[in-house]
Amino acid sequence: MSATGIGAAVKRKEDFRFLTGRGNYTDDINQPGQTYAYILRSPHAHAKINGINTDAAKAAKGVLAVFTGEDMAGVGGIPCGWGVNNKDGSPMNEPPHPALAIGKVRHVGDQVAVVVAESYAKAKDAAELIEVDYTELPAVAHMEAALAAGAPLVHDDAAPGNLCYDWELGDEAEVDAEFKNAAHVVSIDLTNNRLVPNAMEPRAAIGDYNKGTGEYTLYTTSQNPHVIRLLMGAFVLQIPEHKLRVVAPDVGGGFGSKIYHYAEEAIVTWAAGKVRRPIKWVAERSESFLSDAHGRDHISHADLAIDADGKFLGLKVYTKANMGAYLSTFSTCVPTYLYATLLAGVYTTPKIYANVKAIFTNTVPVDAYRGAGRPEATYLLERLVSKAARQLGMDQVDIRRKNFIPADAFPYQTPVALQYDSGDYEATLKKAMELADWNGFPARKAEAAGRGKLRGIGISTYLEACGIAPSAVVGSLGARAGLFESANVRVHPTGSVTIYTGSHSHGQGHETTFAQLVSETLGIPIDNVTIDHGDTNRIAFGMGTYGSRSLAVGGEAIMKALGKVVDKASKIAAHLMEASPEDVEFKDGKFTVAGTDKEVDFGTVALTAYVPHNYPHETLEPGLEENAFYDPMNFTYPGGCHICEVEIDPDTGVTQVINMTAVDDVGRVINPMIVEGQIHGGLAQGIGQALLESCEYDESGQLISGSYMDYCMPRADNFPGFQATTESTLCAHNSLGVKGCGEVGAIGSPPAVINAVLDALADLGVEDISMPATPQKIWQAIQSASVPAAAE
Amino acid sequence: MPTVSMTVNGKQMSGDVESRTLLAQFIRETLDLTGTHIGCDTSQCGACVVHVNGDSVKSCTMLALEADGADVTTIEGLAQDGDDLHPMQEAFRDNHGLQCGFCTPGMVMSAIDLVKTNPNPSEHEIREWLEGNICRCTGYHNIVKSIAAGAAAMRGEKAAAE
């Protein structure tokens, strides 16, 4: 292994600019003549707009323009990227999503008008002069309310019953048959709490219009600038790709929330064409809470049929998923194809049925947040399996082992569409149990009891599907775009290399990891490699970064393009060494001819390609630059075991996480330092979901957790240090053997935490606790359980 | 509009501000020192931490006018002469204490102030100190490690090996 190649913990190339304040985030960019936008948002969850008077705002000092939905009426709505069909085959309800509200507002924060002014303060001041005549309508803030008979309708006739779709996977009757043979049926009702992604950089966008060329430029906080160009250009503003440049510069975290095409991007781009000056919009954090797509928000019931021996026979899952007020880009696929297809987990359950109803409510749109569907599936399964162990009097680990898909069973076809290519669930379980000292737990529990503390241990053995995604498969499931990736390798005349990738780094460290692939493959110093990303004018195409796809899809595209470079360079080297191309070998940056001492280095070949005075013109073009598109054959399937140990103070209900151990199979590891960092971050978000974070609406649809004063963001003192490591099998269908590591931490950990909390409370007879397991909830559970009648 | 003057990263700076202009806005917009970030509107996240007269301050909690005459250091002032990083910056790089980089300037500025008052902080003390700095990427694990290593380097010790 070289010091900068595959497997090396190379320090990150991008860190210097971030550490010295020289990053270039969207809000750091200013254009000559720039103006500022303030977006007036609805204060009501549901209201009719009778009229909007913008006269006073337009007349205010420094104001250039005020636009409302009527002004943008000719512009297309914000599109949804994935169609899902109902059980009966009919298409889902897909109501329009205007960039600025027309006729009605449907959630607190819905965009009503935009003020463009010489300064942000002037725009904000002028927005206070806009008079909107609203008639408030009754709102549905929660799914139960939305489904009640006679409930107010978010989209009137466009979504009767507030239903987006009623979808199913599997044959319910077939699964019912398994239940007839079952010795045991274990059932569970769960809520997967609604979360706000809260990337630390608030969303921002700058629209610019070039009066000379008619070209538009959008700078935006996006995880996938080409996707934004496609969606906004083709569907919203009708600007062809060659006249629209989208730049996503340094982006301060995404976690899914910066995948989607947001109205503000279309508004500033469109308005820049009207006012003929650049327009910058930056969200205040309060606006982020009211306009960034939220995550999770499922209510589920599940039944697990088990035979007398503890083997799972069948699983039925009924889930309601909150879509919010409008369909965000990937909202519809999250609770279906990223959720129900995961319900086999790591187990051999032969028959599975899932029914998912997607519901409109008067809340902010809900879409993918780190893990996206897979944390919801994992939480349901791993809570259910632990509950089954308790109900059947089995050991938590034994019940899992008894049902694991064995390591020699791959490729393994699940009953819910996916075919797993590789894994070894016993290996990750065993290593995690060792690291967490599982067997020493009873002694620690007894010791804690001596101090008056309730100690619990919880486990989760999980799997996820990422590396999104094989285009043919997802196309057949309703995806309206392919999910491949592109790469371009440009070898410069003196042998340095620039990689243009369609993946986008917003914290993941691509500039280092991808450069390691180049350093390893071409045998050149990592400092001679630059990774360029985030600009549709420089990068041919790209589907961006989400679903742990950057390395497994984007990295594979780079490897494919590098392979083409090596092929061509070998031919040039053969010519220089007067050898046959078949006899040329390339290793450690040198071309050699087998059985001779002939040798040329990579730099010489690169120079020859660009100074072609001695060049095989009859067979090769000059230059050394190659493109590749890579479309994966299958999803990748990381998995592993997370073990959490907690201590609860029964007097206060406060839970302290004592130990969090994660052993994950992420496939081949390119940079272990970065991989561990990704897992740490995922664990923090998973523990945050389990113990701290909750997005709450009151019955009228007002967001009551709309700031960092109200929404409990995890702080450093909420966590212990993490024990995170990898125990990998290789992905069987890509050249690197990589699977993905971005989401595993957030997927596997929430059930481990809650199972630990329930283990700590088990002796009191507490059987359920909902996320987040706040001190108040736990204290109340302890108080209720202490009542003799409740304590069995 | 009133004029405000202060020493920023060792240089005398002045500019016209509205009376409501925050120090964070003055630093970013008037002085174009965009390393100081704004991540919230309730003074919770700590992305905007700078040093004012040697102490760490959330620059969104001060009006620019309040800093008139003050000595301000921003993240750009730590390694002014090119490529020599401050030991705390170096420690963050060595320990992968940053991912997206957005909270990083505030984390580094805050950490340096911690070490000024507590040269050898325990892990617990570091975690408590970071109460006012939110990171969404790292789970804080490597930030805590970075600050311990940075503190050791600032004390003149070599950072403990892994």
Q: Could you tell me which chain A residue has the CA closest to the CA of B34? A: A28
Q: B128 CA to chain A: closest CA distance, Å?
A: 6
Chain B residue numbers touching A22 (CB-CB < 8 A): 35, 76
Q: Report the residue of chain A nearest B50, measured CA to CA.
A: A21
% chain A with pLDDT above 70: 99
Which phi-psi region, left, alpha or beta, contains residue B142 (left: φ > 0; alpha: ψ -120 to 50)?
A: alpha
Mean pLDDT across A349-366: 98
- Whether residue A507 is found in the same domain as residue A593: yes
Which residues of chain A neighbour B78 with C-beta distances below 8 Å? 20
Res B161: pLDDT: 41
Domain ends where: A291, A310, A337? A291
Together in a domain, A228 and A122: yes
Q: In what order do the strands lie in the sheet with A184-192?
A: A163-169, A351-360, A312-324, A298-306, A184-192
**What average pLDDT score do residues A672-688 get?**
98
Choose the closest CB to A252 out of B18, B28, B101: B101
Contact A685 B141 (CB under 8 A): no
Digit-coded pLDDT (tens) for A772-786: 999 999 999 999 986
In the chain, the amino acid numbered A218 is L
SS3 B12: strand
- Contacting residues of A for B44, CB less than 8 Å apart: 707-709, 713
Residue A788 neighbours by CB under 8 Å, 6+ apart: none
Give a yes or no: residue A174 inside a domain: no
Q: Is residue A529 part of a domain?
A: yes
Domain that holds residue A729: 298-468+634-790
Average pLDDT in the A181-206 region? 98
> Which residues does chain A have within 8 Å of residue B127's beta carbon, measured at their own beta carbons?
715-717, 719
Cβ contact (<8 Å) for A506 and B142?
A: no
Q: Is residue A307 pLDDT above 80, yes or no?
A: yes
The pLDDT assigned to A1 comes to 67
Q: Please indicate, yes or no, if residue A158 is contained in any of the structural domains.
A: no
One-letter amino acid at A676 equals E
Among the listed residues A644, A712, A656, the one whose alpha carbon sits nearest the alpha carbon of residue A683: A644
CA distance A16 to chain B (A): 8
What pLDDT shows up at residue B79? 84
**Has residue A312 been placed in a domain?**
yes
Chain mean pLDDT for chain A: 97
Q: What mean pLDDT do residues A102-123 have?
A: 98
Please check whether residues A599 and A650 belong to one and the same domain.
no
The tens digit of pLDDT for each residue in A238-297 reads 999 999 999 999 999 999 999 999 999 999 999 999 999 999 999 999 999 999 999 999
CA distance A58 to A64: 7
Per-residue confidence (pLDDT) for residue A404, from 0 to 100? 98
Nearest CA in chain B to A24: B34
Residue A476 belongs to some domain of the structure:
no
- Which whole number is the average pLDDT over B132-146? 98
Domain boundary among A604, A630, A656: A630
Q: Could you tell me if A519 and A606 lie in one domain?
A: yes
CA nearest neighbour of B47 among B58, B34, B31: B58
3-state helix, strand, coil in chain B (%, to 5): 40, 15, 45
CB-CB neighbors (< 8 A) of B131 in chain A: 715-717
Residues A311 and A432 occupy one common structural domain: yes
The reply to whether A402 and A541 lie within a common domain is no
Give the residue on B whose Cα is nearest the Cα of A746.
B139
pLDDT tier for residue B83 given thresholds of 50, 70 and 90:
confident
Within this chain, do residues A316 and A376 fall inside the same structural domain, yes or no?
A: yes
ipTM, 2 dp: 0.97
| Contacts across the A-B interface (CB distance below 8 Å) | 181
Selecting from A21, A201, A680 the residue whose C-beta is nearest the C-beta of B33 gives A21
Residue A792: its pLDDT value, please?
A: 38
Q: Which of B25, B50, B102, B112 to mutate to test the interface with A (most CBs of A within 10 A)?
A: B102
Bridge partners (DSSP) of residue A625 are A490
> What single-letter amino acid sits at A22?
R
Are A593 and A645 within one domain?
no
**A202: nearest CB among B36, B39, B78:** B39
The residue with tokens 């486990």 is: A459
Question: What confidence tier does A622 reach under pLDDT thresholds 50, 70, 90?
Answer: very high
Among partner residues A198, A685, A716, which is closest to B144 by beta-carbon distance?
A716
Q: Are A746 and A197 in contact (CB under 8 A)?
A: no
Reading phi first (left if > 0) and then psi (alpha if -120 to 50, else beta), residue A680 is in: alpha
Q: What is the per-residue pLDDT for A787?
A: 52
pLDDT(A621) > 90:
yes
> Which of A18, A25, A677 is nearest residue B138 as measured by Cβ atoms?
A677
Chain A residues with beta carbon closer than 8 angstroms to that of B92: 15, 19
CA end-to-end span of chain A, whole Å?
A: 60
Tell whether the model's pLDDT for residue A789 goes beyond 80: no
CATH code of residue A232 = 3.90.1170.50
| Topology of the domain comprising B3-77 | Ubiquitin-like (UB roll) (3.10.20)
- Structural contact between residues A514 and A583, judged by C-beta atoms closer than 8 angstroms: no
What values do phi and psi take at A104, rounded to 5? -150, 150
Q: Which tens digits make up the pLDDT trace of A715-760? A: 999 999 999 999 999 999 999 999 999 999 999 999 999 999 999 9
Looking at the fold, whether A315 and A463 belong to one and the same domain comes out as: yes
Question: Rounded distance, CA A408 to CA A436, Å?
Answer: 26
Residues A359, A455: one domain? yes
A338 and A287, same structural domain? no
Residue A99 predicted with pLDDT over 50: yes
User: Which residue from A738, A739, A743, A634 is spatially nearest to A341, judged by alpha carbons?
Assistant: A634
Confidence (pLDDT) at B84: 86
| Residues A761, A687 share a domain | yes
Across-strand partners of A147? none
Residue A288 to residues A292, A346, A706, B12, B37: CA-CA distances in angstroms? 5, 36, 9, 36, 16
Considering only CB atoms, B102 lies closest to which of A252, A674, A681, namely A252
Neighboring chain A residues of B38 at a CB cutoff of 8 Å: 27, 202
Query: What one-letter code names the amino acid at A163?
Result: L
CA angle A743, A747, A753 (to 5 degrees): 135
Please say which residue of A630, A650, A678 terminates a domain.
A630
Q: Which residues pair with A68 in a beta bridge?
A: A113
- The CATH number that domain B87-154 falls under is 1.10.150.120
Q: Using one digit for the tens of pLDDT, what is the confidence trace for A376-403? A: 999 999 999 999 999 999 999 999 999 9
Which pLDDT belongs to residue A791? 38
Measure the CA–CA gap between A484 and A617, rounded to whole angstroms. 34
Q: Do domains B3-77 and B87-154 have the same CATH topology?
A: no
Please report, for chain B, the start and end positions of each structural domain, with discontinuous segments joined by +: 3-77, 87-154
Of A766, A768, A763, give the one whose Cα is nearest residue A751.
A768
Q: Could you tell me the CATH number of the domain that includes residue A436?
A: 3.30.365.10
pLDDT at A790 exceeding the cut of 50: no
Query: Measured between beta carbons, which residues in chain A are less than 8 angstroms from residue B35?
Result: 20-23
Question: How big is chain B, counted in residues?
Answer: 162
pLDDT in tens, A453-476: 999 999 999 999 999 999 998 998
What is the pLDDT, as a whole number, of residue B157?
Answer: 82
Min distance B69 CA to chain A CA atoms (Å): 23
The C-alpha of A750 sits at a distance from chain B's nearest C-alpha, in angstroms, of: 14
> Best mutation site among A200, A206, A718 for testing chain B: the one with the most B CBs within 10 Å?
A200
What tokens appear for A93 in the block?
């309800």
Return the pLDDT at A2: 85
- In sequence order, the 6+-apart residues with CB closer than 8 A to the CB of A291 are A41, A109, A111, A203, A262, A264, A283, A364
A717 to B93: CB separation less than 8 angstroms, yes or no? no
- Chain A residues in contact with B34 by the CB 8 A cut-off are 21, 23, 25, 27-28
User: How many domains in chain A?
Assistant: 3
Residue to mutate among B30, B80, B137, B142, with most A CBs inside 10 A, is B137
* pLDDT reported for residue B80: 66
Q: Which residue of B has its CA nearest to A509?
A: B99
- pLDDT, one tens digit per residue, over B122-136 is 999 999 999 999 999
A16 within a domain of the structure (yes/no): no
